[in-house]
């Protein structure tokens, strides 16, 4: 049986000002004074706070990540941020292909794959997001939709470099609704089988995170499901106490 160290990653999305760094301080205190966490802990703040989060979290093991990146390393791309900039600011991870990026910015699987390749090239670990809409789930297409996204969004380099896959049912994000344990298990098992088929033994070691209204109330149940190797947490990661409760559920 392959042992995978779980990852609990917090996606702050477009939330957080300098005063929000007090939550990082509180989280650091909880992580260092309580029982040692059995998971890797990462915060993906807005780019304006990335360097501060990386510096502030270092002593307590809090890793930092970006929420998006450009495919190019530098150039005339006003308002974009490159993987080398993220790395320079202290990031170790970067989220690519989040459903909000796919929806709000029309990002295709090809674009997501190119971003993941850029991240790997800069020594970052991409967190590649996949997930189905409510209509697709209702039509019985959840597994096939996620499989197609995963095949097209994950670069071949994932066989030789560290990547993370995050399953986020789009209809569950920020709605308070979550799939039942059997539904989550079905998708995560299908993702694992696809990773093993494509990458062999390496595919058995890739972390598969669950994202979609993961909260303190449901974390223990969801994180206990086989092939759920952590979580991509939205709103609950903004408050140190809530996020720590989820980390402690591992």
Burial of 201 (0-12, 13-18, 19+ CB in 10 A): exposed
What radius of gyration, in Å, describes the C-alpha atoms of the chain? 17
Spot the catalytic one: 100, 117, 168, 188. 168
pLDDT of residue 8: 98
Active site residue 26: no
Spot the catalytic one: 98, 107, 117, 188. 98
Domain ranges of the chain: 7-24+44-236
pLDDT of residue 15: 98
Domain 7-24+44-236 in CATH 3.20.20.70: yes
Q: How many whole angstroms from its chain centre is CA 6? A: 12
Pairwise CA distance, residues 66 & 123, whole Å: 13
pLDDT of residue 1: 59
Q: What percent of the chain has pLDDT over 90?
A: 93
Half-sphere exposure of 66 (CA within 13 A, CB side): 27
Active site residue 98: yes
pLDDT along the chain (250 residues), means of 10: 90 98 97 89 98 96 98 97 98 97 97 98 98 93 97 96 96 82 97 98 97 93 97 97 96
pTM over 0.95: yes
pLDDT of residue 129: 98
Closest by CA position to 165, among listed 196, 134, 139, 133: 196
């Amino acid at each position: 049986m392959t042992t995978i160290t779980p990852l609990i990653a917090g996606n702050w999305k477009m939330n957080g000002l300098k005063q929000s760094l007090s939550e990082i301080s509180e989280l650091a205190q909880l992580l260092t004074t309580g029982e040692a966490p059995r998971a890797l802990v990462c915060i993906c703040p807005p780019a304006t706070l990335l360097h501060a989060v990386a510096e502030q979290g270092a002593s307590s093991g809090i890793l930092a990540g970006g929420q998006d990146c450009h495919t190019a390393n530098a150039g005339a791309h006003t308002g974009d941020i490159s993987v080398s900039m993220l790395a320079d600011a202290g990031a170790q991870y970067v989220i690519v292909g989040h459903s909000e990026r796919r929806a709000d910015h029309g990002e295709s699987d090809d674009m997501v794959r190119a971003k993941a390749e850029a991240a790997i090239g800069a020594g970052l670990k991409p967190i590649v997001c996949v997930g189905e809409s409510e209509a697709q789930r209702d039509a019985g297409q959840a597994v096939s939709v996620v499989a197609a996204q995963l095949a097209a969004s994950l670069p071949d380099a994932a066989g030789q470099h560290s990547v993370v896959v995050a399953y986020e049912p789009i209809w569950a994000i920020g709605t308070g609704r979550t799939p039942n344990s059997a539904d989550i298990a079905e998708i995560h098992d299908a993702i694992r089988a696809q990773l093993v088929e494509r990458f062999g033994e390496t595919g058995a070691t890739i972390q598969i995170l669950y994202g979609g209204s993961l909260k303190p109330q449901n974390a223990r149940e969801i994180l206990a499901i086989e092939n759920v190797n952590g979580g991509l947490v939205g709103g609950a990661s903004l408050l140190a106490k809530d996020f720590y409760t989820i980390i402690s559920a591992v």
